[in-house]
Amino acid sequence: MKRALIALSAIFGTALLLFLILLFAFFAVTADVRLDPGKLSLDTACIRLTDRNGDLIGTSAGLRDVSYETLPDYLPRAFVAVEDKRFFSHHGFDFRRIGKAMLKNLASLSFREGASTISQQLIKNTHLSGEKTIARKLREFRLTHALEKKYTKEEILTLYLNSIYFGHNAFGVERAARFYFGKNACDLTPSESAMLAALVKSPNRYSPFKNAEKCLGRRNFVLSLMREQGVIAEEEYAAAVKDPLPAAPAEEANGYVGLVFEELSEIFPDLGEGYGDLTVHTFLDPALQREAEKTQADSDFCALALDTKTRAVRALACPLPSLPKRLPASTVKPLLVYAPAVERDLVSPATPVLDEKTDFGGYSPSDYGGRCEGYMSVRYALSRSVNIPAVKILNMLGVDEGCAYLEKMGLSVPREDRSLALALGGMKEGFTLQQLADGYAALACGGTFAPSSAISSVEDGKGRLLYSFRPAPRRVFSAETSYLITDMLGTAAREGTAKALKNLPYPVAAKTGTGESGGEGNADAYTIAYTGENVIAVWMGNRDYTPISATGGGAPAREAKRLLEALYSSTLPAPFPACDGVQSALLDREEYEKNHRLLLADPASPAATTLPELFKRSALPTGKSARFSCPTIQKPMITFRNGSVCIVLCHAEYYDYEVKRDGGGKTVTVYRGKYREKIFDNSVCAGVEYRYTVIPSYCGVKGEEVRLPAVHVPKIEELPEDWWSE
């Protein structure tokens, strides 16, 4: 018995000691913690954005001040239903909910289940940082207790509704009502109120413009809670679940600010819960942003400017709630097809490809009008964006191999999209303009890739650094491959599909893309242009995929040119840097054009018989022509008619020719001189057999003699039908 009492005393003493330690810790940690009514002010619960110069460009404040009395009863109660159903009965802490959360967390060995009340969320949003520590939780406890003592439930709920984050830079229920529905908060319907309440858990995940299916499911879940808790009647519920979600923002979005908040949601997944007072430093170039916002389009559009060295997004004009994923059309060709094929030494800019109607196991791509142009170089095919050669090269490379390179650039391709149609941008969902621009930035940077960002750094209300953007480039293509692709896209900008850029006074590379809508007109039109320093990307289309009249080489290319002119109005970009692993070589033009062979030109070749092209040093053609250092011709034709021998030369017009005749006991030179198509010998005698030899030469160097078939000149009275023989 005595031992039991001693043990019990020890347990009690230990518990008391722990309680005293926790009590001391609580008062020690929270000694200087005070509820600050000023922080509950709507003007201070915000996120400030600065541009690259440190100037303020926007805040989350404004249009958030609503009073409880003006709201329909079901609106605040929608938030209570899903976030804190015992809000009106507890004193700041729902201990039943806390107990359940603890049990679930213990069962799952995690801390995924939360139990914060609306009062606690308000404190986190306005008074505390985003750190997840016991000390912060203790401060939250004391501040929540003070909040509940000082304010009524209606006042707390009003402050909460006016400070919470609803995604897409919408802070506060009034701003959210305007953005999503184009109306004041006091005019929201039950289904609209439920949708806003549904967003609170994760504004980025449940956005109706990004994840409509998830948003609808979450909204209807909130409506079911409202019905169960008596906020709305059964009939109201049945009508509300049938209401559609908003298909587009009711207000025009600020593309750059929208991108900043999307990135914030990724950096801080629980944005709005304990990160309230933030300063976000961005890379925004205000002058370039103003130019981007002047983009002229008869449809929706996005215009983006990206610094290739820092991977900073300098400007983004996009009147949509977020950058849409669209089919990339031909803009994917350099990244998926040509760069990987050059990297693998499957092709070079000079490689001849036959553009002819081809059936790839039931898939038969074609170009506009169904035309085919025969043999063409890879440079020509890429710069003119010819379709069949691109599909042929991807078929040779392998779709999975091409996709592996895309994956390295953050361009993920689902398994069901991996077909040869991908060479022309055929896929289900596609990529954002920023993702494509990031891929082209890799080409501009010698083959190294890193995702871009609009955010430079983030600080809390006390100036403490919470986040800093540090790109970590990784190699995708060799410097040689990037140089060759850039050079070919330079041809596209000078004389190909992007020739709207040809008058710019500095080197620029560009690729256009035009995606069909399936009916009249096009669904997507792109131009992505870059220098060594910046990428300018322009997309035009309609969010509902209705047809547009624009093509990639038209309005988007003109807008890209305008933005480049604005970007380099006072300075010029540096030329693309040279690459030691690439060299220029001269090809034999005749072999290339007639026989479609890559043969290095004879060093003695006249300039007009050569074709200059760029190659990796490691992948130069191995064969070399000798047709000028050792002149060689095809065997000429020889005929006899009307007393004259005619020798027809085979179009080797750069040679000199000597024609000798043996016959009648003599050797005679019948011709010496420049190329002639036909050489006649009128000095033959009847009854004599002649043999002719043709000797080509170039610059005094004689080539191989070519002996022609013998010619027997018959006597006139014995002229047979077939008068000559070998």
Structure tokens at 601: 């030109």
pLDDT at residue 570, as a whole number: 92
533: its two tokens: 């320093």
Is residue 72 pLDDT above 70, yes or no?
Answer: yes
Residues 6+ apart with CB under 8 A from 560: 500, 501, 510, 527, 528, 529, 536, 537, 538
Summarize pLDDT for 623-635 with one digit per residue, the tens.
Answer: 999 989 999 898 9
Tokens 């007639």 found at: 594
Alpha-carbon distance of 547 to 525, in angstroms, equals 11
The three-state secondary structure class of 32 is coil
Mean pLDDT of 385-391: 96
Query: How many domains, the chain?
Result: 5
Give the pLDDT confidence of 414-459 residue by residue, as tens digits.
999 999 999 999 999 999 999 999 999 999 999 999 999 999 999 9
Examine residue 477 and state whether it is found in any structural domain, yes or no. yes
The model's confidence at residue 140, banded by pLDDT at 50, 70 and 90, is confident
Q: How far apart are CA 716 and CA 726, in angstroms?
A: 19
Q: Identify the helix (H) or strand (E) that includes residue 642.
A: none
Q: How far apart are CA 566 and CA 673, in angstroms?
A: 60
* 286 within some domain: no
> What token pair was written down for 452?
């871009």
726: pLDDT confidence band, cut at 50, 70 and 90? Answer: very low
Per-residue confidence band for 109, with pLDDT thresholds at 50, 70 and 90: very low
| pLDDT tens figures, 149-183 | 888 989 989 999 988 888 887 888 998 999 999 99
pTM: 0.83
Q: Is 614 in the same domain as 477?
A: no
Q: Across the chain, what does the average pLDDT equal?
A: 88
Position 36 scores a pLDDT of: 77
Q: What's the confidence (pLDDT) of residue 44?
A: 46
pLDDT of residue 274: 47
Residues 189, 195: Cα–Cα separation, whole Å: 10
Measured between alpha carbons, how far is residue 95 from residues 89, 107, 426 in Å? 12, 18, 54
pLDDT band at 197 (very low <50, low <70, confident <90, very high): very high
Place of tokens 């036909």: 678
Nearest Cα to 485, choosing from 514, 511, 504? 511
Chain position carrying tokens 């027997």: 712
pLDDT for res 116: 82
* Residue ranges in 245-359 assigned as alpha helix (H): 255-267, 286-292, 333, 339-343
**592 and 332 Cβ atoms separated by less than 8 Å:** no
Q: Are residues 553 and 692 in the same domain?
A: no
pLDDT value of position 111:
44
pLDDT over 90, % of the chain: 66
Residues 442 and 542 in one domain: yes
In a domain, 114, yes or no: yes
CATH code for position 712: 2.60.40.10
In a domain? residue 294: no
Q: Are residues 192 and 221 in the same domain?
A: yes
pLDDT at 716: 64
Please say if the pLDDT value at position 87 is more than 80. Answer: yes
pLDDT over 60 (residue 675):
yes
- Which pLDDT band holds residue 110 (cuts at 50, 70, 90)? very low
> Does the pLDDT of residue 220 top 60, yes or no?
yes
In which residue are the tokens 């008074």 written?
127
Based on the fold, state whether residues 147 and 254 are members of the same structural domain.
yes
DSSP string over 576-639 = PPP-TTEEEEEEEHHHHHHH----BPPTT--GGGEEEEEEEGGG----B--TTTS---PPPEEE
Same domain (yes/no): 497, 513: yes
Amino acid at 310: T
Predicted confidence (pLDDT) at residue 136 exceeds the cutoff of 80: no
Higher-confidence position of 89 and 419: 419
Whether 289 is in a domain gets the answer no
CB atoms within 10 A of CB 75: 26
- Which regions of 477-607 does DSSP assign to beta strands (E)? 509-516, 522-530, 534-541, 582-588
Output the six-digit token pair for 38. 């000023």
My answer on whether 553 and 680 are in the same domain is no
Sign for the CA dihedral angle at 668, 673, 674, 678 comes to: negative
In order of 202, 376, 494, 522, the CA distances from 499 in angstroms are 45, 19, 5, 20
CA neighbor of 261 nearest in space, from 127, 132, 124, 166: 166
Q: Look at residue 671 and tell me if it is in a domain.
A: yes
Q: Does residue 243 lie in a domain region?
A: yes
- In this structure, are 251 and 341 located in the same domain? no
Residue 30: its pLDDT value, please? 60
User: Where are the extended beta strands (E) located within 425-551?
Assistant: 448-449, 455-460, 465-468, 474-475, 509-516, 522-530, 534-541
- The mean pLDDT value for 349-375 works out to 92
CATH number at residue 248: 1.10.3810.10
The pLDDT score that the predictor gives to residue 569 is 93
Same domain, 548 and 591: no
Q: In which order are the strands placed within the sheet that holds 509-516? A: 312-317, 300-307, 534-541, 522-530, 509-516
What amino acid is encoded at 529 in this protein? Answer: A
What is the Cα gyration radius of the chain?
Answer: 38
pLDDT in tens, 306-326: 999 999 999 999 988 889 999
List C-alpha distances in Å: 279 to 176, 200, 312, 465, 639.
21, 21, 18, 10, 92
Question: Does the pLDDT of residue 297 top 80, yes or no?
Answer: yes
Tokens 């996709």, residue? 403
Query: Do 390 and 503 fall within a single domain?
Result: yes
Contacts of residue 451, Cβ cutoff 8 Å, sequence gap at least 6: 311, 410, 438, 471
pLDDT score at 168: 81
Could you tell me which residue, 275 or 245, shows the higher pLDDT? 245
In a domain, 291, yes or no: no
What's residue 20's pLDDT? 58
Quickly tell me which residue has 């480039």 as its tokens. Answer: 473
Other Cβ atoms closer than 10 A to 215:
20
Mean pLDDT across 653-680:
93
Q: Look at residue 304 and give its three-state secondary structure.
A: strand
Beta bridge partners, 431, equal 326
Same-domain check for residues 118 and 258: yes
pLDDT single digits (tens) 566-594: 999 999 999 999 999 999 999 999 999 99
pLDDT at 115: 59
Structural contact between residues 344 and 413, judged by C-beta atoms closer than 8 angstroms: no
Q: Which domain holds residue 675?
A: 637-718
| Judgement on whether residues 488 and 600 belong to the same structural domain of the protein | no
Residue with tokens 């916002």: 293
Q: Is the pLDDT of residue 699 over 80?
A: yes
